[in-house]
Chains A and B, each alone.
Chain A
Amino acid sequence: MAGKVIALAGNPNTGKTSLFNALTGSRQKVGNWPGVTVERKEGRLTLEGKDVAVVDLPGIYSLGAASADEQIASDYLLAERPDLVLVVVDASNLERSLYLVVQLREIGLPLVVALNMGDVAQARGLQIDQKALEDLLGVTVVPTLAASGKGVMALKGRLASLLDQDLSTEFLEVPYGPQLSPIVDGLADLVGDLARELSLPPRLAAIRLGEEDEAALAALERTQAPWLIRRELDEAAAEVEASLGYDLQTALIERRWAFVSSLAARVVSRDKTVREALTPSDRIDRVVTHRLLGLPLVLLAAWAVFKVTFFLGDPAADGLDGLLSGLGESLAFWLDGVGASPLLSSFLVDGVIGGVGSVVVFFPHIFFLFAFIAVLEDSGYMARGAFVMDRIMRLLGLHGKSFMPLLVGFGCNVPSIMATRILERRRDRMITLLVLPFISCSARLPVFLLFAGTFFGARAGTVIFSLYLLGIAVAVIAAKILGSTLFQGESSQFVMELPPYHLPRPKAVLRSAWERGSLFLRKAGTFIFLAVIVVWVLASLPLGVEYGSAESYIGRLGAMTAGFFAPAGFGFWQAAVALLFGFLAKEVVVGTLGTLLAVDGVNLVQVLPQYFSPLSAYAFMVMALLYVPCAAVVAAFREETKSWRWTAFMVLYTTAVAWGLSVAVYQVGRLLGLS
């Protein structure tokens, strides 16, 4: 039994994740599927003293995949052939769940069905004949209540005994009826090559071909005479069309559904005395997707998530920051006392502790944000939010669900980049990821406050507001351009279930928040830490220079790049160095300018006008708004896309846009006679 693999499959919203957690407890590993951004969860389970792997597959309704994560699930089931598949089905909605079960049995996978949510079914007066289900489908059925862990022990027992047996695969025969069966059989005689290619019996290969399965069609091209089979298919299709009035694909899937419905009718009995009243879910929905209240409620919910995340996250982040800088100060004091070299002291304080600090300060925000996202998803509200917002987001060429990451981006781009995981389609996700850095996060506000306050006095508020609008406008235009160039074609679809509402489970919520937060620390943390160390090295070397001064490497780098910023009106090395340091975090721009410009106890606000005019100050703010946000964003971006190339593209194109616009602002402003 050791070394065996159980795959966990099922429709979305059937309690699959709860069951996975109940089975594997804390012995989970979260990662990505090779080559794609879809999350891969694997857990370990001990059955009778032996170790078994459980792979949690993305939720699917069928084997025909429309999105990247569905593709992974169906590819895994078809190609990897796990030793046992545990399918979670919703007892309160058996008919829909059974389609997948029938499809999996049809391709001969050994199944255990976890009949979940029996309590909901019972409340609706539904009785399920478990024995009949087992006999009709040739599967083992175990009732579970995954949310409370009931039935999990019994399930483990069944899994153990099944894995011990030799699970010979029998193929369930779906009756395709008198019209289709001869056609399927006729095709089956011809597709021997294809069947070997797909390692399926010929009849199944013919069926998968008939229902236009992508994998089967691709495999057909690898066989010897695909044109011959294509001709047969066309003839079969014409025959079906003539007798049924619709095509072969529709006919096959329709027959399979008819079989599923007849199964459901045989195993589910309804207690007629239980009246189907208006469910609480319906009542909530009346308000939540109300014609007038729906939109304000989504905005309110999104605003509340934003506010509360930062209300709870800011003090926690500040606390961590304070703790670490206190630690740094006492360490510096102690090192000074024992006579350590200033370089070592600076390395430990500015480099190591600073580096750790710039990673952990993100943890509280990520934790709280993902706790709220889990609440929204678990309760069923996220789907409604996307339902309400889709029309607006589609104007930007995006999916309804994109609104959440975009909104969170105003607080901090890092958790919002991670939040793009809720988008299933690669196209929607990539566009959202690529435009997110233009959304002005809270770390850019100190830069705006300093410059707008210094140069625009009473109009500072308007100026800052204009920068926020500029960020949004650039994001919208970039989304439009990306959607019509790099990510065209792949049209996004909105076939989505609106699951019944239920109370989110605190344990699941905290678990999801913790997973995200710790994943960030582990994965992105290393990169951010390294980036901080690199900047420290550049600022401290060659030996003997003052930290970040003109003589340091970063100062020289600043002097070299200063000319690059001259067309934007701030071509002096201090500005360039401040922007380079801004890569650590945008608010560092302010601190750096303070160190470099405000020497001899002069106030930064007083010296700034010696370097900047109001026009070049505005150009500088445009630059600070739009260029690559910070090392943490780059790290998170790389982590989410799994691609250094896209990450490099993001860094380069945001910087190019920022430079171009700030030069444009300065030059157009000068032409208009502004200064």
Chain B
Amino acid sequence: MTKGTVVSALKRLVGEGLLDHERYGTPALTEAGRRRALRIYRRHEHLTFLFTGLLGIPRLKGEEIACLIEHNLDDESESRLLLLTDYLAQGMREGTDWAQALTRRLSESASLPRPLAMLEPGGEGRIMRVTAEGPLRKKLLEMGFVPGKRVLFRKRSPLGDPLELELLGTRLSLRRSEAATVWVCPAEGECSPCVL
């Protein structure tokens, strides 16, 4: 941090009425400045708690993410996020059924649903849902891309797109953009439902 950076930052804060600063004097926060600082601090603490305490992300990483988010959050999103955090924390303290299920699900983080196009060739998945719209959606569903069916990603075309899949005993070809609308889970084990 250079002297210039500090000076220009101070000037900006003074300009916004958040800081009192006489030349060569000690800078002091104004009343408005103090309120703003406290609000960001509260946000930071809440977010850090959400990421580390509830979602189980390591302390340092959690704080880093909280730092990234806290400055870009508007008031409404903040208050809703705080209420959610509060509710989750309460449920976990009391050990309710849903909170236990949530904790279990969180520990199986590998089972996140993903678009079919994200699998590697040779990979297999169980279909969760189709997010395409209009005629393509209907076509995919009626071709058998329905929840529960297994689909095998066989290979990519020599130029990388389209993809060759195997579904219900037939080889099908889908463009990557089309395959991105089919959400799958790993072929084995539990998978969180997709709420998209």
Residues of A within 8 A of B (CB): 61-62, 64-66, 93, 95-96, 99, 211-212, 245-246, 249-250, 253-254, 257-258, 289-295, 383, 387-388, 390-392, 394, 400, 491, 493-500
With A and B bound together, what is the CA distance between A498 and B169 in angstroms? 11
| Interface residue B15 (Cβ < 8 Å from any Cβ of A) | no
On whether the beta carbons of A61 and B143 are closer than 8 Å, the reply is: yes
Q: Which residues of A contact B69 (CB under 8 A)?
A: none
Q: A61-B142, A295-B159, A383-B173 are in contact. Are A66 and B136 (CB under 8 A)?
A: yes
| Interface residue B193 (Cβ < 8 Å from any Cβ of A) | yes
With A and B bound together, what is the CA distance between A257 and B145 in angstroms? 10
With A and B bound together, what is the CA distance between A254 and B147 in angstroms? 7
On whether the beta carbons of B175 and A497 are closer than 8 Å, the reply is: no
Within residues 130 to 154 of chain B, which ones have a CB less than 8 A from any CB in chain A? 130, 135-144, 146-149
Q: Which residues of A contact B164 (CB under 8 A)?
A: 289, 387, 498
On whether the beta carbons of B144 and A99 are closer than 8 Å, the reply is: yes
**How many Å from the CB of B150 to the closest CB on chain A?**
11
Q: Which residues of B contact A499 (CB under 8 A)?
A: 170-171
Q: A253-B146, A387-B164 are in contact. Are A497 and B159 (CB under 8 A)?
A: no
- Picked from A93, A212, A388, A390, the residue with its CB within 8 Å of the CB of B138 is A212
Q: A95-B168, A245-B193, A250-B130 are in contact. Are A66 and B139 (CB under 8 A)?
A: yes
On whether the beta carbons of B138 and A249 are closer than 8 Å, the reply is: yes
On whether the beta carbons of A250 and B147 are closer than 8 Å, the reply is: yes
Q: Which residues of A contact B169 (CB under 8 A)?
A: 93, 95-96
- Picked from A64, A246, A257, A388, the residue with its CB within 8 Å of the CB of B149 is A257
Q: Which residue of A lies closest to B169 (CB)?
A: A93
With A and B bound together, what is the CA distance between A494 and B148 in angstroms? 23
Q: Which residues of B contact A498 (CB under 8 A)?
A: 164, 170-173
Q: Which residues of A contact B147 (CB under 8 A)?
A: 246, 250, 254
On whether the beta carbons of A289 and B155 are closer than 8 Å, the reply is: yes
With A and B bound together, what is the CA distance between A498 and B154 in angstroms? 12
Q: Which residues of B contact A258 (CB under 8 A)?
A: 148
Q: Which residue of A lies closest to B159 (CB)?
A: A391
Q: Which residues of B contact A390 (CB under 8 A)?
A: 157, 161-162, 175
Q: Which residue of A lies closest to B194 (CB)?
A: A245
- Picked from A65, A96, A254, A290, the residue with its CB within 8 Å of the CB of B158 is A290
With A and B bound together, what is the CA distance between A62 and B12 in angstroms? 65
Q: Which residues of B contact A500 (CB under 8 A)?
A: 171
Q: Which residues of A contact B175 (CB under 8 A)?
A: 390, 394, 493-494
Q: A390-B161, A494-B173, A497-B170 are in contact. Are A250 and B139 (CB under 8 A)?
A: no
On whether the beta carbons of A254 and B148 are closer than 8 Å, the reply is: yes
On whether the beta carbons of A493 and B139 are closer than 8 Å, the reply is: yes
On whether the beta carbons of B146 and A391 are closer than 8 Å, the reply is: no
8 A/B residue pairs, CB under 8 Å, sorted by A: A250-B129, A388-B158, A495-B139, A495-B143, A495-B172, A496-B173, A498-B170, A498-B172
Q: A257-B146, A295-B158 are in contact. Are A64 and B139 (CB under 8 A)?
A: yes
Q: Interface range on chain B: under 10, 10 to 19, 20 to 34, or 35 or more?
A: 35 or more
With A and B bound together, what is the CA distance between A431 and B138 in angstroms? 25
On whether the beta carbons of B158 and A291 are closer than 8 Å, the reply is: yes
With A and B bound together, what is the CA distance between A93 and B173 in angstroms? 17
Q: Which residues of A contact B135 (CB under 8 A)?
A: 64-66, 493
Q: Which residues of A contact B174 (CB under 8 A)?
A: 494-495
| Interface residue B124 (Cβ < 8 Å from any Cβ of A) | no
Within residues 161 to 195 of chain B, which ones have a CB less than 8 A from any CB in chain A? 161-162, 164, 168-175, 178, 193-195
On whether the beta carbons of B159 and A253 are closer than 8 Å, the reply is: no
On whether the beta carbons of A387 and B162 are closer than 8 Å, the reply is: yes
With A and B bound together, what is the CA distance between A95 and B146 in angstroms? 14
On whether the beta carbons of A493 and B136 are closer than 8 Å, the reply is: yes
| Interface residue B4 (Cβ < 8 Å from any Cβ of A) | no
With A and B bound together, what is the CA distance between A61 and B140 in angstroms? 11
| Interface residue B160 (Cβ < 8 Å from any Cβ of A) | yes
Within residues 63 to 119 of chain B, which ones have a CB less than 8 A from any CB in chain A? none
**How many Å from the CB of A328 to the closest CB on chain B?**
51
| Apart from A64-B141, A250-B130, A497-B170: 15 A-B pairs, beta carbons within 8 A | A64-B139, A64-B142, A66-B138, A96-B144, A245-B195, A290-B158, A387-B173, A391-B162, A394-B175, A493-B136, A493-B178, A494-B174, A498-B164, A499-B170, A500-B171
Q: Which residue of B lies closest to A251 (CB)?
A: B147
Q: Which residues of B contact A95 (CB under 8 A)?
A: 168-169
On whether the beta carbons of A99 and B142 are closer than 8 Å, the reply is: yes
Q: A96-B170, A387-B164, A494-B174 are in contact. Are A254 and B146 (CB under 8 A)?
A: yes
With A and B bound together, what is the CA distance between A497 and B171 in angstroms? 6
Most central of A61, A62, A65, A493 by chain B CB within 10 Å: A493
**How many Å from the CB of A202 to the closest CB on chain B?**
22
With A and B bound together, what is the CA distance between A228 and B171 in angstroms? 43
With A and B bound together, what is the CA distance between A391 and B164 in angstroms? 14
With A and B bound together, what is the CA distance between A461 and B81 in angstroms? 71
Q: A93-B170, A391-B160 are in contact. Are A494 and B139 (CB under 8 A)?
A: no
On whether the beta carbons of A96 and B168 are closer than 8 Å, the reply is: yes
Q: Which residues of B contact A497 (CB under 8 A)?
A: 170-173
- Picked from B136, B139, B149, B157, the residue with its CB within 8 Å of the CB of A387 is B157
Q: Which residues of B contact A64 (CB under 8 A)?
A: 135, 138-139, 141-142
**How many Å from the CB of B158 to the closest CB on chain A?**
4
With A and B bound together, what is the CA distance between A500 and B136 in angstroms? 24
**How many Å from the CB of A187 to the closest CB on chain B?**
19
**How many Å from the CB of A193 to the closest CB on chain B?**
24
**How many Å from the CB of A78 to the closest CB on chain B?**
15
- Picked from B139, B144, B178, B195, the residue with its CB within 8 Å of the CB of A257 is B144
With A and B bound together, what is the CA distance between A333 and B153 in angstroms? 71
Q: Which residues of B contact A249 (CB under 8 A)?
A: 137-138, 141
Q: Which residue of B lies closest to A13 (CB)?
A: B170
